Amino acid sequence: MDKHFAARRRRDLIIAAVLAALAALAPLFVKNVYIQNIMVLTLMYAALSQSWNILSGYCGQISLGHALYFGIGAYTTELLFTKFGVLPWFGMLAGGGIAAVIAMGLGYPFFRLRGHYFVIATIVIAEIGLLLFQNWEWAGAAMGITIPVRGDSWLKFQFMRSKLPYFYFALALCCLAWFVTWWLEDSKWGFWWRAVKDNPEAAESLGVVVFNSKMGAAAVSAFLVAVGGAFYAQFLAYIDPESVMGFQFSLLMALPAVLGGIGTLWGPVLGAAILIPMTELTRSYIGGSGRGVDLIVYGTLIVLISLALPQGLVSLLSRSKARGATR
Amino acid sequence: MGLLYGLIAVGLALIFGLMDVTNFAHGEFLMIAMYASFFLFTFFAIDPLLSAPLVAAAMFVFGAIVYLLIVRFAMRAKANAGMVQIFTTFGLAIVMRGLAQLFFTPDYRSIPQSWLAGKTISVAGIFLPEPQLVGALVSIAAFAGLYFFIHRTDFGRALEATREDPGAVALVGIDKNRVFAFGWGLGAALVGLAGAIMAVFFYIYPDVGASFALIAYVTVALGGFGSVFGAFAGGIIVGLVEAVTALMLPPSLKSVGIYAVYLLVVFIRPRGLFGSM
């Protein structure tokens, strides 16, 4: 059993390296800016979903308030940049740090809650954050912040002419989130989290410090999501509370992981690779008329996929593999 | 206002609170109920107050159909049933919003003249707007009715038993799907009632549900899952807190008070005020 596990982990790492290399080469063949844009978003959502998965999938603490950390990452970066001239790279780390500290501060009271009470608390706290930012004059209130154009440079992480630098950063972030998950899966933390998810009482009695392991998961998850938020802000060059902290974001972050397979290593990547292009394509080909047909198609697909594959798309792969093995 | 939140929440208290099924489309149920009474008024000139029972009956059928066609299958999922429920109902909510945009356009609509609109009544020197007053009375009646229904009838017992242990219930000859379809129908009918009354004094547009749905979840959770009385108390508290917050903070921040009170309550009592689950 142990040998299988080690072999599977080595195989996962190789597959990931190959996929990352292929993705890195993709811009050589794809010159269309619209499609490049979709690829950036896909990678970003894969990274976000992977980070969300650490707390909600592995550790089983379903959060529908991760938009809070996303928004904190975006706002910290842009406030530091526009008000104090701090480079986005430092802002990104600062945002991640602040988000991680807030996640732990919130975790202290929140992790006593169970089930729906916990989920609603996460929604509510993100909503409070949204309302506060909408009313915070210094931070642009509901109007948001427009990031001043200072010319293309890696130093300021700002590129007007090409989307490629954003693409590579999103790819790197996605790889980082994947690698962190991969690494944690086999660590003491990874085993603790799964134990906490399956049966917190039993885990506690076996010496797992349930509370601390939830805190660890929350901090890692929030940090990565906030870095994603910082990236998104630089990518759009404009942020406002609703577009980086809205409830929709919390759901959009969770959706790829759920469709791909919650609590699995490959679920978020797989889910994002299918869901995000689908979303963008329905929006641009059917939507635009403002008549909501894109919403109908999109919603129907979500309903059908979640009903047909409750354990996510990953379950399809492992099922066919299991069948192959018995043959 | 609190009793109105209570009225929206009472249907959710049944579906979410008593049957333990997450319904993220609750706000959209409210939205279509409001449209239903809007169109009954525009085309047939039936006052929302009269059409309320019609809307509730239609919503009953709609809720039961949603359960039988969609939710039934979402509950069957063995692994992470909670997430499957969240996202199937979320997908349903998106579809309903899309349909509303397609057929009803995103325009804001309102019912200009109804029996109650703009009238006030004076009780002991205090002027109260009639629509809200009627809403409050209907709300109290709905809660009393639901309370009686859950605690005094065979159906109520069957519902609770089904949630506790569907397997054992099947052994004594109760059809789980029939009980839950009826429960969903009833929950939708209650929100239909709320929609019909709110149509009198709120703008009607495809996204209207979203603004009330979160407060409805908070109301149910504040009162505690599994308690009808809790949802009623939750509604009153939410209304009071909102009124007090509106006095102290700018109107755009009035919901912050509600959310803060929810957090405070569950930190002290992790199962809500009167929750049993």
pLDDT in tens, A235-259: 877 788 877 788 878 888 888 888 8
Contact A187/B at CB under 8 A: no
Report CB contact under 8 Å: B74, A307: yes
pLDDT (0 to 100) of residue B277? 58
Dmax of chain A from CA atoms? 66
Phi, psi of A238 (to 5 degrees): -155, 135
What value does the mean pLDDT take over residues B16-39?
82
CB A265 within 8 A of CB A183: no
Chain B residues close to A141, C-beta within 8 Å: none
Mean pLDDT of B23-29: 85
Out of A42-46, A159-163, B116-120, B122-126, the most confident range is A42-46
* Cβ pair B120, B141 in contact under 8 A: no
Look at A161 and B7; give whichever has higher pLDDT: B7
Helix (H, G, I), strand (E, B) or coil at A238: strand
Q: Does pLDDT of A210 surpass 80?
A: no
Give the separation between CA B24 and CA B206, rounded to whole angstroms. Answer: 15
Chain B CB within 8 Å of residue A288 CB? no
User: Which of A6-10, A259-263, A283-287, B121-125 comes out lowest in average pLDDT?
Assistant: B121-125
Q: pLDDT-based confidence at B13, cuts 50/70/90?
A: confident
Q: State how far residue B191 is from chain A, nearest Cα, in angstroms.
A: 20
Please state the separation of Cα A46 from the chain's center in Å: 6
Going by pLDDT thresholds of 50, 70 and 90, the confidence category of residue A327 is very low
Tokens of A259: 């469709």
List the single range of A155-164, A295-304, B19-28 with lowest mean pLDDT: A155-164
B118 pLDDT more than 60: no
Closest B-chain CA to A116? B221
Stretch among A39-43, A155-159, B13-17 having the lowest mean pLDDT: A155-159
Q: What is the largest CA-CA distance in chain B?
A: 59
DSSP 8-state assignment for residue B68: I
Mean pLDDT, chain A, as a whole number?
A: 78
Chain B partners within 8 Å of A247 (Cβ) = 214
CA angle B74, B100, A64 (to 5 degrees): 45
What is the structure's pLDDT at A324? 44
Answer for the pair B216, B255: CB distance below 8 angstroms, yes or no: no
What is the rounded distance in angstroms from the CA atom of residue B60 to the CA atom of residue A121?
Answer: 30
* CB atoms A310 and B70 under 8 Å: no
CB atoms inside a 10 Å sphere around CB A28: 7
- Give the residue from chain A lying closest to B100, CA to CA: A292
What ipTM does the predicted assembly reach?
0.79
Given this model, what pLDDT does residue A51 score? 85
- Is A117 touching B (CB cutoff 8 A)? yes
- The model carries a pTM of 0.82
Could you tell me whether strands B120-123 and A145-146 are parallel, antiparallel, or unpaired per DSSP bridges?
Answer: unpaired
Which residues make Cβ contacts (< 8 Å) with residue A154, sequence separation at least 6?
A165
DSSP H helices, B124-227, are: 130-152, 154-164, 166-171, 176-198, 208-223
CB contact under 8 A, A307 and B88: yes
pLDDT above 50: residue A97: yes
Q: Which of B73, B101, B217 sits opposite A307 (nearest CB)?
A: B73
